[in-house]
Structure 1
């Protein structure tokens, strides 16, 4: 029976553990917070923070696509208005409960193949080719394989009494209803923050600022287009690929269709498309096109979009596009200066507090996660070419500083997005977990 250590107990780590336990493996899982299945995405307690993927596509297991939906119906939790359907966008805190349930059944049964530790991994080393992890308390654990599943990296920003960072706040803010708020970023984290403020009865304007002022699109019911591989330009320059996609969208909309069907139809090909882009084109995409991709690819649930639209119509939510120039303290307030996107004039905005929703760490190599940092410092791992995560092989083995993948160290989920790009959502993570579990347990 093979033994596995999994570092990280969020969605990636839990789904990986469940796959290994299904195949008879022994798993020791480390999660510092003690909240299994939470991570950044699912730690929120706000029932109005919804999944941005429909319930029918959120199963943890590719071979059992209705697993989550069946759990949702069987667990006895009260549904939202109209009942649960596969098209429903479920509160994220319920999905955390689902992930927790994947491992709780083993714990309830007294299955000794699963052990969970609330401790931080601070070092990883090899002894006679076998991986050893060391915890903050100084304890050492060994296994046949170590899998890193720590999820998205928090941004490297400073917080203060008047600045909150979304990814470490669980989307909950102690902000008085009469305090003027500025939010940096206009993506899904901003949306969650606005909902949290509105739910607390916020009464004064909320200013959301980003370079482009782009908002996530609204989900609608569409059937993904069937796009054949030979219709795409694998290996061609990014400009040609973009032209191909634009032509597809124009043709679809001209025929009365929805652009969303094309974006969704690209999903089966997205990892291959990313793989075939040159490094220069990947960097160009990240620098210029990523915001446009994100708002079209990662959308708002309809009821969330309704609330955001209403807040904009009433003037409570004001979207501003511009380049941040400075932030300074002015008596009890914060003075923000930004250059408007369409012009050189500089606008000053005085607010009581700031919420930073600009997303995760853009440079993986400066991670503050000691478990990951120890791998980089020891030369057991290296960043991928885009510095979004670990460099990994197609088998998800971590590549060391010498460019070799000889050690039993693996990564899964968002830690591999620099290599795979489209691997931050459950439908992609579950496929990775299943394939890795099959490979690791095949010879046991």
Structure 2
């Protein structure tokens, strides 16, 4: 795309595509920080309500945030902002409370509304699906086209596309279109139609799988659910009384290490052991590492990043991304009662039978095979971040095919520069276009949780304001 950022006297049009967490926060920050006459903001979202995304588009209040309310503020300079919102609803809630995700979605929606009302710049919301983004004929501005044919001219576009769909599993191709195979792990309506009292196999054992487990059993306490993953690992739980992480510089025990995944793993394990011997908790070590994970990632060459993701990543994830205490106790209770069962292994075959699906599994423990006869299979293997495979988003497909987006070498996101410009197929930044969202993990590794994305959306807003008209 040509350089659209040419100086002009009037306000520049900023179009933000996507109003999940990242898009909503990008809009909130620019609305709060931009001066009068600098921008007009257009927020495009295909759903009716903003601030939801996949995580917060849940109306079941048994589904809790996995982070305490005190760490969930949308505003970096006002850390108690969300807590204060919660206390207006229920004064008993506090910074250490784990509240329903639905409440956080309501909060984001309200925060956007207030930012729009109090902003010094115009703000418009447009409901629709963006299907293409190209330079206008004069090459100076951008043109966003919606599925219904509407067009929006822009000086800057922020792609805040969120999660773009679940991973597609080759061994499930034979079940494509079957009502017994739930390919979308957020399709709770499909789960609710699984015959009562019948067992279900959930593929995966992370947070999305635990959500599915709770949904499948919330109205059917007689149902057995199998959780199948390659290693059989489950998320750990938060402490009932979380401790705020200590703010410190880069850990001394990680300095001067060889740039390998296993060298860092061994060093972290030694530090955990040392802390335990001193009467401390392993969670404090993980929490203190959080702001430094991008630097760890940057220190590793590509081959070591690949090794980290494959060999260390699953263990890191269960310790780093923990369950709320009540959710963890609920899970442990279901495991002890044999209502839930973890199976470590991989799927060999899946075939539809007269009354369900037969899944043949190769067990990790002993290499033997096991047949599971279930009423349904739910794919909870997680979002797909490989844009070479993604086809559900016409916009991503167009940008990829025309060379405006390219995957990183590990295919876990999109390549961006330090100012959030996507790197195109020609190796150069795409001017006028920015990306913010979970596919920043390609550059920063840890970029899917609220604290990280809050920081990225604020930095992006300030970058746009600082470079206005250049």
Give the TM-score normalised by the residue count of structure 1.
0.94
1:100 to 99, 103, 109: 109
Q: Kindly tell me: are residues 166 and 251 of structure 1, through their superposed partners in 2, closer, same or farther at Cα, counting changes over 3 Å?
A: farther
Does residue 1:11 correspond to 2:1, yes or no? no
SS at match of 1:310: helix
Q: Kindly tell me: are residues 165 and 171 of structure 1, through their superposed partners in 2, closer, same or farther at Cα, counting changes over 3 Å?
A: farther
SS at match of 2:438: helix
Q: Kindly tell me: are residues 334 and 88 of structure 1, through their superposed partners in 2, closer, same or farther at Cα, counting changes over 3 Å?
A: same
1:384 to 393, 402, 408: 408
Match of 2:461 in 1: 437
CA contact 1:55–1:68 (8 Å) conserved in 2: yes
CA contact 1:154–1:168 (8 Å) conserved in 2: no
Q: CA deviation at 1:235?
A: 6.6
Q: CA deviation at 1:272?
A: 1.1
The separation in 1 between residues aligned to 2:141 and 2:276, in whole angstroms, is: 56
SS at match of 1:177: coil
Match of 1:245 in 2: 268
Q: Kindly tell me: are residues 134 and 362 of structure 1, through their superposed partners in 2, closer, same or farther at Cα, counting changes over 3 Å?
A: closer
The separation in 1 between residues aligned to 2:117 and 2:195, in whole angstroms, is: 42
The separation in 2 between residues aligned to 1:419 and 1:110, in whole angstroms, is: 32
Q: CA deviation at 1:366?
A: 1.4
Match of 1:31 in 2: 45
Q: Which runs of 5+ in 2 are unaligned?
A: 1-10, 169-175
Match of 1:165 in 2: 183
SS at match of 1:191: helix
The separation in 2 between residues aligned to 1:118 and 1:325, in whole angstroms, is: 43
Match of 1:204 in 2: 223
Match of 1:130 in 2: 141
After superposition, where does 1:139-288 map in structure 2 within 5 Å?
139-157=150-168, 158=176, 160-169=178-187, 173-174=191-192, 175-220=194-239, 221-224=242-245, 228-229=249-250, 230-233=252-255, 236-288=259-311
CA contact 2:387–2:400 (8 Å) conserved in 1: no
SS at match of 1:257: coil
Match of 1:350 in 2: 373
After superposition, where does 1:393-408 map in structure 2 within 5 Å?
393-408=417-432
For residues 91-150 of structure 1, give each alpha carbon's deviation from its aligned partner in whole angstroms, at most 9, with x where no partner exists: 001100011112223566798722112211111111314221111112221111100111
SS at match of 2:128: coil
1:56 to 67, 70, 84: 70
The separation in 1 between residues aligned to 2:19 and 2:247, in whole angstroms, is: 35
Q: CA deviation at 1:421?
A: 1.2
Match of 2:4 in 1: none
Match of 1:324 in 2: 347
CA contact 2:41–2:121 (8 Å) conserved in 1: no
For residues 161-191 of structure 1, give each alpha carbon's deviation from its aligned partner in whole angstroms, at most 9, with x where no partner exists: 0011344415872133312111111111111
Q: Which runs of 5+ in 1 are unaligned?
A: none
Size of the aligned set, in residue pairs, is 439
Root mean square deviation, CA, Å = 2.0
Does residue 1:361 correspond to 2:372, yes or no? no
Q: CA deviation at 1:5?
A: 0.7
CA contact 1:129–1:407 (8 Å) conserved in 2: no
For residues 330-378 of structure 1, give each alpha carbon's deviation from its aligned partner in whole angstroms, at most 9, with x where no partner exists: 1111001001101221000101111111101152321121111211111
For residues 399-430 of structure 1, give each alpha carbon's deviation from its aligned partner in whole angstroms, at most 9, with x where no partner exists: 11111114111001202111111110110111
Q: CA deviation at 1:159?
A: 5.4
CA contact 2:31–2:116 (8 Å) conserved in 1: no
SS at match of 1:304: helix
The separation in 2 between residues aligned to 1:125 and 1:18, in whole angstroms, is: 25
